[in-house]
Amino acid sequence: MFKLHPRLQNDTMMLGRLPLCRVLLMNDAHYPWLVLVPERPHLREIHELDENDLPQLWRESAFVARQLQQGLEADKINIAALGNVVAQLHVHHIARYVNDVAWPAAVFGRDDAVPYTAAYLDALLPRLRELLCASLDPRLKMHWRPALKTRQPSAANRRGKPASPAGPDSPATPAG
């Protein structure tokens, strides 16, 4: 039976589900950062997916990357499946901008996460859900299941300082 790794549970918010993957938002206002987690038990590596799930992961990954880049006008999309800290198979999709805090370096291990404020999430979550639902490939759309409620990480789970409210100088201001 599939179970989400506790670290992913603590560091992310559920956006919805695609046919294979849970779509999670990393709680870091530095970057629009989505994580796809195939809902299959005991997977650690991409090559462990079966012959049906492997192409499905690539379809879902390409879709999410395209939507982030086009919908949020990202300069670059970083995609990675590292698994050095969390062994459970998960694929990061990070919208990058030439003026973000880590550019041009990788984001992993660079700065402490800056949790989203409630006001910022109120603006960002509907935008991300719109991007992921409205433009879905018909093969994916019938399977998209949005999260009913978005869990706000507790103060105990937050790392770093609170994020500033959304505005033109805020990190990762949602486009649209």
Identity of the highest mean pLDDT range in 14-23, 40-49, 111-120 = 40-49
Residues 129-153: tens digit of each pLDDT = 888 886 665 655 555 666 645 444 4
Contacting residues for 130 by C-beta, under 8 A, at least 6 apart: 71, 176
Compute the average pLDDT of residues 112-122.
93
Residue 174 counted as domain residue: no
Residue 155 counted as domain residue: no
**pTM given for the model:** 0.80
User: Which residues on adjacent β-strands are paired with residue 25?
Assistant: 13, 34
| CATH code for the domain of 113 | 3.30.428.10
Residue 172 counted as domain residue: no
Contacting residues for 64 by C-beta, under 8 A, at least 6 apart: 23, 34, 36, 93, 132
Are the C-beta atoms of residues 38 and 21 closer than 8 Å to each other? yes
Residue 67 counted as domain residue: yes
Torsion of CA 63, 113, 122, 74, to 10 degrees: -40
- The residue segments making up the domain with residue 133 are 6-143
pLDDT value, residue 138: 61
Of 109, 124, 126, whose CA–CA distance to 32 is shortest? 124
CB-CB neighbours of 77 under 10 Å: 20
Using the CB atoms, write b or e for 18-30: b if 16+ within 10 Å.
bebbbbbbbbbbb
Residue 69 counted as domain residue: yes
Residue 71 counted as domain residue: yes
Confidence of residue 117 (pLDDT cuts 50, 70, 90): very high
Give the span between the Cα atoms of 93 and 84, in whole angstroms: 16
User: Which residues on adjacent β-strands are paired with residue 93?
Assistant: 34, 79
pLDDT value, residue 144: 60
Residue 161 counted as domain residue: no
- As for how many domains the chain has, the answer is 1
Q: Residue 31: pLDDT above 80?
A: yes
Residue 43 counted as domain residue: yes
